[in-house]
Amino acid sequence: MNSAQLIDGKAAAARVLQQVKVDVASMVADGIQPCLAVVLVGEDPASQVYVRNKILRAEECGIRSLEYKLADDIGEDELLELIRRLNADREVHGILLQLPLPAHIEETLALQAIDPGKDVDGFHSENVGGLSQGRTVLTPCTPSGCMQLLHDTVGDLSGKHAVVIGRSNIVGKPMAALLLQAHCSVTVLHSRSQNAAALSRQADIVIAAVGRPRMIDASWLKPGAVVIDVGINRITEGERSRLVGDVDFDSALPVVSAITPVPGGVGPMTIAFLMKNTLIAAQLQAKTHAKSEAPCPSIS
């Protein structure tokens, strides 16, 4: 039986966070405190857990965190006004608007209101467009974390055939763009794809991000493929509830060369790259402010 490598997302995230902590300390020594503002609208229990974990990680990295808990019935204009204030605050370097939002608030409008330079989720259209053009921008945290896991596991990705299963704006599309930047040949599979399993079997790398528990089994995978499972699905078996991925882990394990477990794979990387994006945003803003405040050369 093939002995597949389990890709340890917890260990990889710890390495990312440790480097962020070192770099944040260097900025603090220079008089700049990286700061992340987290905006939570409503009482969604899962969102509250996510926000709590993000703030905890920020504190561990030395990043100052600001939390804004807003009522479920807050007006759209009120939320947009808060975002405008955070955009204008030079002591705030990153803004995270926790999704989902209540139905009466237009999600796209709220996300577009965030300054692209403070958009640590990488969802603003300016950052999305920049990513597709290969420019250096803030990129979505989950795909960025997946890329780190792939580089750690595979090394040079140039020339590899990567299949992305799922085409969401949050994972699938930016994942494909990042893989293209790494010089992969990229195929994106989705609900309208024909012969999806056969196409997936051609891939050296499979990114599963479709949101359907255990949909991808061994019949979708080429022997020796590297599998990154982004899915986090809660299922009930008997009286027990547990988390599984989009990949049928037990079926895939004898076939693949490396695979992320669920939980403990991609999940920890998402928060780690949120911290890294906050640091990057702070560094870029510090450079911009330094240039804008530099004295003009005198003319004699």
Q: How far apart are CA 208 and CA 52, in angstroms?
A: 27
Query: What is d(CA 243, CA 236) in angstroms, rounded to the nearest whole number?
Result: 9
Report the C-alpha gap between 101 and 82 in whole angstroms: 15
| Bond into 295 cis (ω within 30) | no
Residue 296: which pLDDT band, with cuts at 50, 70 and 90? low
Cis peptide before 116 (omega within 30 of 0): no
**pLDDT interval class at 289 (50, 70, 90):** confident
Q: What are phi and psi of 34, to 5 degrees?
A: -55, 140
Contact (Cβ atoms closer than 8 angstroms) between residue 280 and residue 138: yes
Which pTM value belongs to this model? 0.93
pLDDT in tens, 191-241: 999 999 999 999 999 999 999 999 999 999 999 999 999 999 999 888 888
- Nearest-angstrom CA–CA distance, 256 and 252: 6
Q: Which residues are catalytic?
A: 54, 98, 121
The sign of the CA dihedral 287, 289, 292, 294 is: negative
